[in-house]
Amino acid sequence: MNEIFKLLKLSPTLILLFIVIYFILNPEKVQIWSSILCGLFSAISDRASRRSVKNDIEGRVNYYVKILNKNLPSVKPVGLNITWVSPDEKEEQFFDENKLVLRIRKHPNQNKNFVNASMMYVSKVILKKLKRYLSQTQKDSIDFFVEKSLLEKVKKNALDYFMSDLLMPALEANSKMSELFDKYNIIDKTGLFYPVFLQEMEYLGNKVFYSSKKIRPKIIKEVKEFISFLKNYSDREIGQEDTMQNFEKDYLHCAIMIVAKRQKIGADIKPYVRYIKNLVDRNMENIYIIGPAKKANIQYMKEIIDYAAEKFKYSMCFEGQYSSAILFHGSRTQVSTYLMLLRKIDVQKYYDEEYIKSIQNR
């Protein structure tokens, strides 16, 4: 009993220590809280109002970047830094810096400010390398989908403004974009939009170095087919065996392997290793291994991956748990899923003469 009292006496210090450590590890949360506090004084202080706006946008976008980074570990996280221009800035500085200046409205319009700033950030940062090869509709739809997810995660009350001002008019004006958006929604329901779709797009952007005119039509076609492939995969019923699980085209080579038909848990890993060998022989660069996030199954998946990675010279690039809504007897059931990514170490890259000349001239 005395020990408990001692601990209770210590607890204020411990609690404070935990809070300090938590905020050191999560500076974005500090910014979000600070924006809320400053917002209370925004009506009487211009300085507080500016701080509130800046910290709200930076804190929430950077918090989302961290969430995104957990699903896309191979992507270098790039945050957002809001910089107020000085009203005394001279014309020369404006032209020297050569940067866009966004107008930020007074505090009551913060949802508008947030959507405008974060949309610019998304356009600039997401799939930066690949975008030059994608069609306008593909680019727009991916940006809009990522922006929608960002708002759902970190700024729900700005969704209405985003939907009515940007998303709905864009979807109404472009039926192809609307179709793509529906497909992303289905892919996202099964949790594959970020860790599989965007991951593959990021890898694709990092391995193609062709002049965009030559290769662009092919990439547009492959990306379109890949979206349909993932949509069909996400639309399959549990246990449905006739859905394609491999995507083998000119630039994208990946496969999805489900581990854990219940009867196989605890069994020999060899059948799965043989299946992986078959995928390796077919030059699959990325093998996404998916299964129920149950302790025994995760252990089983790890055994398979450890063995296969060493045997076939692949590396395990990512593992993570996520929630997915899978189809069972026509309706979606929420389950916890575990995903591991086995990636070929020596991935084929595609260069053309123009690119090689450009790097030789650097």
First-residue to last-residue Cα distance in the chain: 72
Q: Work out which of 30, 72, 166, 317 binds other proteins, going by CB under 8 A.
A: 166
Contact indicator for 260, 301 with CB cutoff of 8 Å:
yes
Whole-number Å distance between alpha carbons of 288 and 283: 14
Region binding other proteins by CB under 8 A among candidate stretches 36-44, 124-132, 184-192, 249-257: 124-132
Q: Work out which of 87, 108, 239, 330 binds other proteins, going by CB under 8 A.
A: 87
Whole-number Å distance between alpha carbons of 61 and 149: 11
CA distances from 329 to 239, 240, 333 (A): 11, 11, 10
Please report the DSSP string for 311-350 in residue order.
Answer: HHTEEEEEEEEEEEEEEETTEEEEEEEEEEEEEESS---E
42: DSSP letter: T
- Rg over alpha carbons for the chain, rounded to the nearest Å, is 24
Buried b (16+ CB within 10 A) or exposed e, 219-235: bbebbbebbebbbebbe
320 binds other proteins (CB under 8 A): no
Q: In angstroms, what is the minimal distance from the CB of 184 to other proteins?
A: 17
Helix (H) or strand (E) holding 228: helix 212-234
148 binds other proteins (CB under 8 A): no
Please say which residue, 115 or 196, places its beta carbon nearer to other proteins: 115
169 binds other proteins (CB under 8 A): yes
Q: In angstroms, what is the minimal distance from the CB of 80 to other proteins?
A: 6
Contact indicator for 204, 227 with CB cutoff of 8 Å:
no
Please say which residue, 1 or 173, places its beta carbon nearer to other proteins: 173
258 binds other proteins (CB under 8 A): no
Q: In angstroms, what is the minimal distance from the CB of 125 to other proteins?
A: 6
181 binds other proteins (CB under 8 A): no
116 binds other proteins (CB under 8 A): yes
Q: In angstroms, what is the minimal distance from the CB of 54 to other proteins?
A: 8
Whole-number Å distance between alpha carbons of 250 and 128: 21
Q: Work out which of 7, 11, 33, 124 binds other proteins, going by CB under 8 A.
A: 124
120 binds other proteins (CB under 8 A): yes
Whole-number Å distance between alpha carbons of 35 and 52: 4
CA-closest candidate to residue 324, choices 193, 153, 159 = 193
* Single-letter amino acid code for the residue at 38: C
Residues contacting 63, CB < 8 A, separation 6+: 26, 28, 29, 32, 154
213 binds other proteins (CB under 8 A): no
Q: In angstroms, what is the minimal distance from the CB of 96 to other proteins?
A: 9
Q: Which two tokens stand for residue 296?
A: 């025994």
Q: Work out which of 29, 132, 207, 216 binds other proteins, going by CB under 8 A.
A: 132
Within residues 56-85, the interface with other proteins by CB under 8 A covers 62, 65-66, 69-70, 76-85
Residue given tokens 């918090």 in the structure block = 63
20 binds other proteins (CB under 8 A): no
Helix (H) or strand (E) holding 63: helix 46-71
25 binds other proteins (CB under 8 A): yes
44 binds other proteins (CB under 8 A): no
102 binds other proteins (CB under 8 A): yes
139 binds other proteins (CB under 8 A): yes
Q: In angstroms, what is the minimal distance from the CB of 131 to other proteins?
A: 5
Q: In angstroms, what is the minimal distance from the CB of 132 to other proteins?
A: 8
Which residues lie near other proteins (CB under 8 A)?
A: 25, 46, 50, 62, 65-66, 69-70, 76-91, 94-95, 97-106, 116-117, 119-121, 123-125, 131-132, 136, 139-140, 143, 165-166, 169-170, 173
